Amino acid sequence: MKRRIAACLYADVSGFCRLIGTDVQSTVRTMTAYKALMARLVSKHAGRVVDTAGDSFLAEFATISGAVRCGLALQEELSRHNAGLPPGRRVEFRVGIDLGDVLVHEGRVYGNCVNNAARVQAIAAPGSVCIAGGAYDHMDAALPVQFEYLGEHAAKNIDRPLRVYRVE
Residue-level pLDDT at 92: 94
Residue-level pLDDT at 113: 94
Distance (Å, whole) CA 18 – CA 16: 5
Class of domain 2-167: alpha beta
**Long-range CB contacts (within 8 A, 24+) of 113-117:** 113/6, 113/7, 113/8, 114/8, 114/10, 114/58, 115/157, 115/158, 116/8, 116/155, 116/158, 116/162, 117/8, 117/9, 117/10, 117/58
pLDDT in tens, 145-156: 999 999 999 888
Tell me the domain boundaries of the chain. Answer: 2-167
This model's pTM is above 0.85:
yes
